[in-house]
Amino acid sequence: MTGTVTTRGAHLEALRRIGHIPVLIVGGGINGMGTFRDLSLQGVDCILVEQGDFCSGASRAPSRMIHGGLKYLETGEFRLVRESAAERNRLLCNAAHYVSPLEMIIPIHSWFGGVVPALRKFLRMPAKITERGALVIKLGLWLYDLYGALNRVMPRHRMISRQDILREIPDLDPSLKIAASYYDAWITSPERLVVELALDGMAANPDNIALNHLRFSGVKGNQVELQDAQSGEFFSLTCDVLVNAAGAWIDRVNASTSASRRMIGGTKGSHLMLDLPALAETLHGRMIYFEADGGRICILSNFMGNVLLGSTDIPVDDPDGVICDDDEVDYLLGAFRRLFPQVPVDRSNIFFSYAGVRPLPANDMSDPGAVSRDHSMPELPPEGERQFPIFSLVGGKWTTFRAFSAEATDEILGRLGKRRLSSTVDVPIGGGAGLSQAAAPTEKLLSAIMSDHGLSRHRAYQLVTRYGVRAKFLAQVLADGETVLASLPEFSQEEIAFICETELVLHAEDFLFGRTSVFLERPLDHAALNELVDAIGSVRSWDDAHRVTELERLIERYRKTHRMVVSERQNRRPQFL
Ligand SMILES: Cc1cc2nc3c(=O)[nH]c(=O)nc-3n(C[C@H](O)[C@H](O)[C@H](O)COP(=O)(O)OP(=O)(O)OC[C@H]3O[C@@H](n4cnc5c(N)ncnc54)[C@H](O)[C@@H]3O)c2cc1C
């Protein structure tokens, strides 16, 4: 991957000319984008359209775990656990710049709790586990180690005595009996990985287009209609296959083609970011995987020096505009207080919140946690004037996107009468090329960037953790000097320009929330947002009025979507609503 300039104007121009495309993908989340990259690698011409920015649905709202799915052992979904563990191990190799091993700690409050319901679940009889004891967890982790054996890159599980775990994490609820430790993985930049898949796909097949802020608005006769969110312009084309990867919006997209069949039963999940650096420090990079009220599994981890706490699981019908609501805040803070009774926490510790809707299959279950997290690809065959089939990508995990995309690609290749040219199993993603979990390749890259371009070790490290090997192209640009932003010193004007020019940034919020994770690292005040808009405005030649609109858009996004009020008053930290 290079720093090739990719312009929206050129893509829109191409769309005006293209009358027909073999495959049109609706939805630029992880599943749509994974399929876009795979099809591109097979030489298939395709276009992906995303109504907002890339990765703006569920794919931007995960707990950031890349995991084998320990809890799916309870529901007897062994195929899913095997696949998830294998895909986790692959992502550790193929996206080593963003995906790293993560030690998980399970605090355990009983020895034999959950044995009977676990047995009933295992035998596929109705049961709800509300407390998992040491025996059940030990057995589960033993099985989990077996499933993760393929391409194993991480240690096996171990049990930790009460004294030891309380010595390591002293604030944990002292009523625990024992704890368990096992390894999964976590992803620092899911947003960036989706963008990198888009860039990889377009590099593999330069005629292909993945474009954000372009909405699929429906089918008229046999014509697919797309609309540019910025100008309102419509584009019309035909396709051989339509892939509906619209996540929680799948039923809506199908309905706009007059094909109505209920496929989705979405559940909302929310997370809070808490500024508790002292607690984050005692976690030593580990995630706590714990039971909240009613046995629901929640997570708490150190994300870049602060605490990430999530998530909820609430059935919703409308995926638009979901937020972490008051009941969820109370639920999550309540779970936190039971886990860490000694650590004072309240709403003033919240500096960011986010929510997303899992595109789970339609179901009539009363317990959302029991709905399968496996994926499927139901087909709506051609009907009436519509001569092409629609495949909907339902369900799935972030972790398993490559396998899901490969299944979708194989099905589509079959429909197009084509053969697979290559597998994606060992293909690195974006800046992950040539890196691994071993320290040596990263060290080599750091040394090369420092010696070839004269950057400090700190800056070279910052770039490598943000962009992987792609940092080399950026370092070349930065070698002539950088203008660091005063209130957002994590970034320079030149770095922002490079990303805007090569990664299809249309709005300031695309940059902030879709190309960085700085919004999760610390509270950002008015001055930081203002300076960011100015920096992007200089690259994009925005006039004053445009800059004001972009700043208002950012502040409104903070308020409406993330419940944070950004005040113009100097040095005022954003407040949770
Ligand atoms: C709270 C929460 C926590 C999670 N945690 C994890 C985790 O830790 N690990 C893990 O593996 N998985 C996790 N998941 C699951 C995972 O995030 C999702 O399964 C996955 O992101 C779904 O991806 P998708 O591409 O199918 O859907 P989405 O990411 O929702 O993408 C669908 C896209 O389609 C677009 N779209 C909709 N309508 C249109 C239209 N008309 N035109 C153009 N575009 C359109 C939307 O804007 C959206 O960007 C979590 C999910 C949630 C909600």
Tell me the per-residue pLDDT of 148-176, one tens digit each, with 9 for 90 and over: 777 677 889 999 999 999 999 999 999 99
**Cα separation of 49 and 211, whole Å?**
5
**Cα separation of 250 and 31, whole Å?**
12
Q: In this structure, how many other beta carbons lie within 10 angstroms of the beta carbon of residue 368?
A: 20
Q: Indicate which residue's Cα is closest to atom 41 of ligand 1.
A: 216
Residue 198 in this model has a pLDDT that exceeds 90: yes
Tell me the per-residue pLDDT of 206-232, one tens digit each, with 9 for 90 and over: 999 999 999 999 999 999 999 999 999
**Ligand 1 pocket check: which of 35, 47, 51, 227 to mutate, most ligand atoms within 8 Å of Cβ?**
51
Ligand 1 atom at minimal distance to the Cα of residue 31:
25
Spacing, Cα 540 to ligand 1 middle (Å)? 29
Closest CA to 374 of 81, 33, 576, 43: 81
Q: H-type helices in 469-543, by residue range?
A: 471-478, 493-502, 508-514, 518-521, 526-540
pLDDT of residue 2: 47
Interior angle at CA 155, CA 154 and CA 161, nearest 5 = 140
The neighbouring-strand residues paired with 225 are 218, 236
* Percent of the chain at pLDDT exceeding 90: 82
Spacing, Cα 62 to ligand 1 middle (Å)? 8
Residue 458 in this model has a pLDDT that exceeds 50: yes
Tell me the per-residue pLDDT of 228-256, one tens digit each, with 9 for 90 and over: 999 999 999 999 999 999 999 999 999 99
**Cα separation of 182 and 73, whole Å?**
15
Give the C-alpha distances (Å, rounded to integers) separating 292 from 129, 131, 273: 12, 10, 17
Spacing, Cα 246 to ligand 1 middle (Å)? 8
Spacing, Cα 465 to ligand 1 middle (Å)? 24
Annotate 108-157 with DSSP letters as a single string.
Answer: E--SSTTHHHHHHHHTT---------HHHHHHHHHHHHHHT-TT--S---
Closest CA to 268 of 487, 540, 58, 63: 58
Spacing, Cα 444 to ligand 1 middle (Å)? 35
pLDDT of residue 115: 77
Cis omega (within 30 of 0) for bond into 311: yes
Higher pLDDT, 271 or 4: 271
Q: In this structure, how many other beta carbons lie within 10 angstroms of the beta carbon of residue 552?
A: 11
pLDDT of residue 363: 85
Residue pair 339/169 in contact (Cβ under 8 Å)? The answer is no
Pick left, alpha or beta for residue 328 (phi over 0 → left; psi -120 to 50 → alpha; otherwise beta): alpha
Spacing, Cα 28 to ligand 1 middle (Å)? 9
Residue 418 in this model has a pLDDT that exceeds 70: yes
CA atoms within 13 A on the CB side of 485: 22
Ligand 1 atom at minimal distance to the Cα of residue 356:
53
Which helix (H) or strand (E) element contains residue 183? strand 178-187
The band of 6, judged by pLDDT with boundaries at 50, 70 and 90, is low
**Ligand 1 pocket check: which of 398, 399, 509 to mutate, most ligand atoms within 8 Å of Cβ?**
398
Spacing, Cα 57 to ligand 1 middle (Å)? 5
**Ligand 1 pocket check: which of 358, 374, 377, 504 to mutate, most ligand atoms within 8 Å of Cβ?**
358
pLDDT of residue 4: 60
Tokens, residue 475: 């370092």
Spacing, Cα 360 to ligand 1 middle (Å)? 10
Q: What is the mean pLDDT of the chain?
A: 93
Q: Indicate which residue's Cα is closest to atom 1 of ligand 1.
A: 269
Q: Indicate which residue's Cα is closest to atom 17 of ligand 1.
A: 59
DSSP 361: B
* Percent of the chain at pLDDT exceeding 70: 98
**Interhelix angle for 78-94 vs 401-416, to 10°?**
100
Residue 570 in this model has a pLDDT that exceeds 70: no
Q: Indicate which residue's Cα is closest to atom 35 of ligand 1.
A: 27
CA 252 to chain centre: 22
Q: Indicate which residue's Cα is closest to atom 14 of ligand 1.
A: 62
**Cα separation of 481 and 28, whole Å?**
35
pTM of structure: 0.96
**Cα separation of 71 and 195, whole Å?**
29
Residue 449 in this model has a pLDDT that exceeds 60: yes
Spacing, Cα 173 to ligand 1 middle (Å)? 34
Q: Indicate which residue's Cα is closest to atom 52 of ligand 1.
A: 62
Ligand 1 atom at minimal distance to the Cα of residue 355:
1
Tokens, residue 427: 């293909």
Of the candidate ranges 127-141, 391-405, 441-455, the one whose mean pLDDT is the lowest: 127-141
**Ligand 1 pocket check: which of 24, 25, 30, 323 to mutate, most ligand atoms within 8 Å of Cβ?**
30
Residue 258 in this model has a pLDDT that exceeds 60: yes
DSSP 318: -
Spacing, Cα 483 to ligand 1 middle (Å)? 36
Q: In this structure, how many other beta carbons lie within 10 angstroms of the beta carbon of residue 77?
A: 17
Residue pair 263/245 in contact (Cβ under 8 Å)? The answer is no
**Cα separation of 421 and 407, whole Å?**
14
Tell me the per-residue pLDDT of 534-564, one tens digit each, with 9 for 90 and over: 999 999 999 999 999 999 999 999 999 999 9
Spacing, Cα 493 to ligand 1 middle (Å)? 31
Of the candidate ranges 66-70, 265-269, 341-345, 397-401, the one whose mean pLDDT is the lowest: 66-70
CA 187 to chain centre: 8
Tell me the per-residue pLDDT of 305-363, one tens digit each, with 9 for 90 and over: 999 999 999 999 999 999 999 999 999 999 999 999 999 999 999 999 999 999 999 98
Average pLDDT over residues 24-31: 98
**3-class DSSP assignment, residue 25:** strand
pLDDT of residue 75: 77
Ligand 1 atom at minimal distance to the Cα of residue 63:
8
Average pLDDT over residues 385-409: 97
Give the C-alpha distances (Å, rounded to integers) separating 428 from 213, 274, 397: 27, 33, 19
Spacing, Cα 91 to ligand 1 middle (Å)? 18
**Ligand 1 pocket check: which of 15, 36, 63 to mutate, most ligand atoms within 8 Å of Cβ?**
63
Which helix (H) or strand (E) element contains residue 246? none
Ligand 1 atom at minimal distance to the Cα of residue 398:
11
Q: H-type helices in 353-400, by residue range?
A: none
pLDDT of residue 288: 97
| Ligand 1, CB cutoff 6 Å, lining residues | 26-32, 49-52, 56-59, 61-65, 67, 215-216, 245-249, 253, 269, 311, 356-359, 393, 396-399
Q: Indicate which residue's Cα is closest to atom 31 of ligand 1.
A: 29
Spacing, Cα 84 to ligand 1 middle (Å)? 17
Spacing, Cα 29 to ligand 1 middle (Å)? 5
The band of 432, judged by pLDDT with boundaries at 50, 70 and 90, is very high
- Amino acid identity for residue 318 in this structure: D
Higher pLDDT, 365 or 184: 184
Q: Indicate which residue's Cα is closest to atom 25 of ligand 1.
A: 29
Let me know how long the chain is. 577
